[in-house]
Amino acid sequence: MKPTVLILCTGNSCRSHMAEGILRAAAGDLLDVQSAGSKPAGYVHPLAIKALAEIGIDISGHHSKHMDEFLAGEVETVITVCGNADQACPAFPGQMNRHHWGFDDPAHATGTEDEQFAVFRRVRDEIRRVFEAYAAGRRDAK
């Protein structure tokens, strides 16, 4: 059974889904990767879906979930990607690790759709660097 890594942000609409998709692509054979939010927005942002599609990762089937859905299961590692989720995060059953890697919220980007999408790309690339390095570290530890 693969250990569960739960990635949390407040709305579970952008950052946590991008991180989930990237980590699943990089380490899905080693880890059960999930995401959730402390106050789920109820949707996955279309620009987050588009930004990941650009790098060959499909998150169009993802949906926004509340972190409480994971309290009944074993969660080995919790990674928060925004400060609010880091503060609201409970301890999960079986949790051995906790990391906080904060990223700007691209949902707050303003301007034209192209200008907003540039922010989504930047945040996606930042998330990709961190989570691909994390996946490599998990592989090296095996």
% of the chain residues with pLDDT over 90: 81
| Concatenated DSSP letters of 24-46 | HHHHTTT-EEEEEESS--SS--H
**Which among 5, 7, 8, 9 is annotated as catalytic?**
9
What are the helix (H) ranges across 28-94? 46-53, 83-88
**Contacts (Cβ under 8 Å, ≥6 apart) of 61:** none
Is the C-alpha dihedral spanning 21, 24, 25, 27 positive or negative?
Answer: positive
Q: Which pLDDT score is estimated for 85?
A: 61
| Rounded Cα gap, residues 74 and 137, in angstroms | 21
- Encode pLDDT of 57-91 as tens digits: 999 999 999 999 998 889 999 999 987 766 666 67
Burial of 84 (0-12, 13-18, 19+ CB in 10 A): middle
- Encode pLDDT of 27-38 as tens digits: 999 999 999 998
Domains of the chain by start residue, with CATH: 4-137 (3.40.50.2300)
Q: Which pLDDT score is estimated for 81?
A: 93
What count of residues does the chain have?
142
- Encode pLDDT of 114-142 as tens digits: 999 999 999 999 999 999 999 999 999 87
**Which among 25, 51, 78, 89 is annotated as catalytic?**
89
Q: Is 14 a catalytic residue?
A: no
**Which among 7, 19, 52, 82 is annotated as catalytic?**
82
